[in-house]
Structure 1
Amino acid sequence: MRLFSKTKKTVGWMSITIQEDGIYMAHVTLMPAAQPQVGLIAFYPADKTQTTATLEKIAKELHVDRYECTNLLNSGEYQLLSVDAPNVPQDELKTAIRWRLKDMLDFHIDDATIDVLDIPGDKNAPERKGAMYAVAAHDQFIKQHQSLFEQVGIPLSVIDIPEMAQRNISALLEPEDRGLALLFFDNTGGLLTITFAGELYLSRRLDVTLAQLLQTDIDQKNTCYDRVTLELQRSFDHFERQFRFITVSKLMLAPLGDGGSGLQEYLAANLYMPVETFNLDAVLDISKVPALQQPQQQQLYFMALGAALRHEVTTL
């Protein structure tokens, strides 16, 4: 979802994701009739006070001006809202969506940057009114991201959101004519997405962190497993009611790092659908970055890789 854009430059995307422990980067090139190729990953440790200096270092050492760069908003910097698709001409769509969002946001609509994403309906029931996702970010957050990268001389082309980064990976895993649920955890919490035909149909945030899932206390860990299971059951029930024309084939767990097998076993025993874990080398060519063979590294770079898998779509 393009919140703003500049002139395109080179093939492939360099994603630059700023997290609590530092800055994660990945460059991926989409290959015709082959797996997307990961050409580079990099991590620069930095706390919030070091972000600008670290980005300056990255700009010099990696010559990122040669790349098309993308950056992800943090989860607290935007709202992702499902709305009914308004019955208006295409050129009036964003204005109509903006009007619908004015009472749904926790800030004034005049201060919002809005983008929209279509949620395709059942092709066998075209008369049914469709839905859309609207992304609303406060202008100040967009300007902060723009200003930060401009200050250090990094050409930022796109600001995206984690849901779309995860969608990019999920689309590579989908069985033909079936939907796919994908669940990812980091130290900010969990993110569940359901995709079908490469489109994002559902997104849910889970208030359980990776650290909680990997803790050693068995009772507390099982409590977290129960919370995750309940949220998944509710989400799947809601999805089935809303999108009866989509069959979700399985739940895939994104790499959790060392010690993550317990969650897969627990969910498989308590959900009605198959639950599998996957390795990124099933969908990506990681031959140039052997470090990504390690599950822990796959978890750390998951969002950066998803963002770098961006492909141009028709924006609304």
Structure 2
Amino acid sequence: MFPFLKTPHEPGWLAIGQSPRRFDFVHILRTTGHLPQVLLAESIERGADDATTLTALKKPLRLHHHHLMALLPAGQYQVVLTDAVDGPLDEAREIVRWKLKDQVGFPVDTAAIDLLPIPPLGRSPQVYALLAAETVMAPLIQSFQSAKLELTAIDVPELAQRNISALLEEEDRGLAMLIFDESEGLLTFTFGGELLVARHIEISAEQLLSASPERREQLFERIALDIQRSLDNFDRSYSMVPLSGLVVGAIPGVTGYMDYLRNNLSLTVTVLNLADIIDLSAVPALLDPQRQFQCLRALGAALREEPAS
């Protein structure tokens, strides 16, 4: 989403995930007939000024030789489901922009907006409108410009997670996926490599890690109830899409999580194993579950197939 400037040099995407304390840099190369290969995965502490941090990393990470994509963290954008609009994409964006002016928490006239079509599958055409406020986008873009780096695209976690899910789908079957990060949980439903449904769960991995055993059990129950409600809603809306199961990203240090979901949900639950779908041999540190957890959003973003333009 949010395509930008001209094409740099290296093939593949270098995604930059943002958390309050660090940047996660992941470069993935996709070639026909081979697993996507991770060529770079580095997590760097953010300094007081992002432009200064990016400038310092430009040569060591060869940032100026890559298609750079920044991943917006939760809370810095909104995703709104709305009816599709006929006509050219630029015109559709503007129509949707003003249609949603009372549904977002920031001025739409200066907001960045893009539209993600949802496969109709017998339903009326709909899109996800992705919007980010100028107060978010302007400083982000300025930090790259100040570092003399070309930012090719900006993406969101829903699409990063879709990219991972697409590698695990079975033919003619949909897939549910749940991944938690430091700020929230994200549950997605995909089919044919496309995002159908995204649901946010307002529980973070940090909450689960710091909770007492009793409190953790309560959080597990909330998560399972949210998932089951979403499964029921998905079945009503997309009854023609059978789900092969739910793939869940592990949370290092949180015990009992997978067993609880397996015992309390109505479908098969499996743990996400990145080594099954991505070649990690060039960056063996990613075999560490903690490093996978830290970089997972950026890994998903870097799997983007759309050519940089």
TM range, smaller chain: over 0.9
> Counterpart in 2 of 1:44?
44
Report if aligned partners of 2:2, 2:113 keep a CA contact under 8 Å in 1. no
How far apart in 2 are the matches of 1:62 and 1:89?
A: 39
Q: Which amino acid in 2 is paired with 1:31?
A: T
Question: Which segments of 5 or more consecutive residues in structure 2 lack a partner in the other structure?
Answer: none
Return the offset for 1:8: 4.9
> Counterpart in 1 of 2:180?
185
> Counterpart in 1 of 2:216?
221
How far apart in 1 are the matches of 2:294 and 2:51?
A: 21
1:298 to 292, 296, 304: 292
**Where in structure 2 are the equivalents of 1:1-316 lying within 5 Å?**
1-47=1-47, 49-88=48-87, 92-122=91-121, 125=122, 128-215=123-210, 217-257=212-252, 259-312=253-306
Report if aligned partners of 1:70, 1:159 keep a CA contact under 8 Å in 2. yes
Please state whether the residue corresponding to 1:76 is helix, strand or coil.
coil
Return the offset for 1:3: 4.1
The superposition leaves residues 211-256 of structure 1 with CA deviations (integer Å, 9 ceiling, x where unpaired) of 2223462101101101101111111112122222211211111132
Question: Which segments of 5 or more consecutive residues in structure 1 lack a partner in the other structure?
Answer: none
Return the offset for 1:87: 4.0
Q: Which amino acid in 2 is paired with 1:58?
A: L
Q: Which amino acid in 2 is paired with 1:236?
A: L
How far apart in 2 are the matches of 1:219 and 1:91?
A: 51
Return the offset for 1:279: 1.5
Report if aligned partners of 2:4, 2:151 keep a CA contact under 8 Å in 1. no
Return the offset for 1:91: 5.7
How far apart in 2 are the matches of 1:224 and 1:29?
A: 37
Alignment CA distance shift 1:208-1:216 (3 Å): closer
Please state whether the residue corresponding to 2:220 is helix, strand or coil.
helix
Alignment CA distance shift 1:91-1:62 (3 Å): closer
How far apart in 2 are the matches of 1:206 and 1:90?
A: 31
Please state whether the residue corresponding to 2:6 is helix, strand or coil.
coil
Alignment CA distance shift 1:109-1:33 (3 Å): same
How far apart in 1 are the matches of 2:61 and 2:105?
A: 39
Q: Which amino acid in 2 is paired with 1:223?
A: Q
The superposition leaves residues 174-202 of structure 1 with CA deviations (integer Å, 9 ceiling, x where unpaired) of 11111111111111011111111010111
How far apart in 2 are the matches of 1:66 and 1:108?
A: 35
How far apart in 1 are the matches of 2:177 and 2:297?
A: 13
How far apart in 2 are the matches of 1:260 and 1:294?
A: 15
Please state whether the residue corresponding to 1:28 is helix, strand or coil.
strand
Q: Which amino acid in 2 is paired with 1:66?
A: H
Number of residues of Structure 1 aligned to a counterpart in Structure 2: 309
Of all paired residues, the percent bearing the same amino acid is: 38
How far apart in 2 are the matches of 1:80 and 1:216?
A: 30
How far apart in 2 are the matches of 1:17 and 1:230?
A: 29
How far apart in 2 are the matches of 1:87 and 1:299?
A: 40
Most deviating of 52-61 and 159-168: 52-61
Q: Which amino acid in 1 is paired with 2:204?
A: T
Alignment CA distance shift 1:279-1:110 (3 Å): same
> RMSD over aligned Cα, in angstroms?
1.9
Q: Which amino acid in 2 is paired with 1:263?
A: Y
TM-score, scaled to structure 1: 0.92
How far apart in 2 are the matches of 1:108 and 1:302?
A: 31
Q: Which amino acid in 2 is paired with 1:289?
A: V
The superposition leaves residues 64-83 of structure 1 with CA deviations (integer Å, 9 ceiling, x where unpaired) of 11111100112222110100
